[in-house]
Structures are given as C-alpha cells and as structure tokens.
Amino acid sequence: GENVEQHPSTLSVQEGDSAVIKCTYSDSASNYFPWYKQELGKGPQLIIDIRSNVGEKKDQRIAVTLNKTAKHFSLHITETQPEDSAVYFCAAAVMEYGNKLVFGAGTILRVKS
C-alpha cells in the first residue's frame, strides 16, 4: 500500500521568511496530493492540492510542487505570518479509487514574530 513520509517534523521560521515542507510517496499510482492545515482543537483544513498532470500550483502565498519521477511533492509558504503557525499534513490518494487519503505524520510550523 501507499506510504507517505513527511519532513521536517518541526519547523521554526521568523515572520516574513519562507517555509518549505517536503513529502515523498511510494505508490506510483497516486495522482492526487492535497495539503491540510490543522489548528489546535480543529479538524484538518484543505489549503491547496495538486493533481499528477500538473507540476506546480500557486494560491497567493502558498505553492505546491510535484515531481512524479522522484515521487515527491513540497509545500512552500512565502512571507510567513504568525497565523500560519499550525500542523501541516501532506497526503496522497488515487482519485479514481475514491479519495481515500494516506497522510504523512505532520509538520509543526512555528512562525516567530
């Protein structure tokens, strides 16, 4: 089955700096890669996703890149703000088999002001 590894487990950045979180996956059939942000006491919130027919996708300060050959994808947050502090999860799925997500272990992002 699919296995998703996520690094780093914790990341501290200064406000205004960029943050990068990386994930690798094992199943070459996976074709959908969402990123979720989870704040304390809340459920995961979808912040951006990418499908395997695209190499990069941007949404304001957030971008995701995908390298299908190397089986890895990354989340980039620019101009970080204190409200970006949360736990971020990457996930992978085969969309045609139903959106059954396999998650990474998560990255705790702390943005220091």
Partner 1 sequence: ETGVTQSPTHLIKTRGQQVTLRCSSQSGHNTVSWYQQALGQGPQFIFQYYREEENGRGNFPPRFSGLQFPNYSSELNVNALELDDSALYLCASSLSVMNTEAFFGQGTRLTVV
Task: Summarize as ranges the residues that interact with partner 1 (CB under 8 A).
Answer: 4, 6, 34, 36, 41-46, 49, 89, 91, 95-106
How many residues would you count in the chain? 113
Q: How far apart are CA 23 and CA 42, in angstroms?
A: 23
Q: In angstroms, give the least distance from the CB of 16 to partner 1.
A: 28
Q: How far apart are CA 73 and CA 110, in angstroms?
A: 21
Nearer to partner 1, 5 or 56 (CB): 5
Nearer to partner 1, 2 or 78 (CB): 2
Q: In angstroms, give the least distance from the CB of 54 to partner 1.
A: 14
Q: What is each CA distance from 16 to 27, 78, 88, 109, in whole angstroms?
A: 35, 7, 18, 13
Q: How far apart are CA 70 and CA 77, in angstroms?
A: 22
Nearer to partner 1, 69 or 98 (CB): 98
Q: Are 23 and 35 in contact (CB under 8 A)?
A: no
Q: In angstroms, give the least distance from the CB of 1 to partner 1.
A: 8
Tokens of 9: 């487990």
Nearer to partner 1, 35 or 111 (CB): 35
Q: In angstroms, give the least distance from the CB of 26 to partner 1.
A: 15
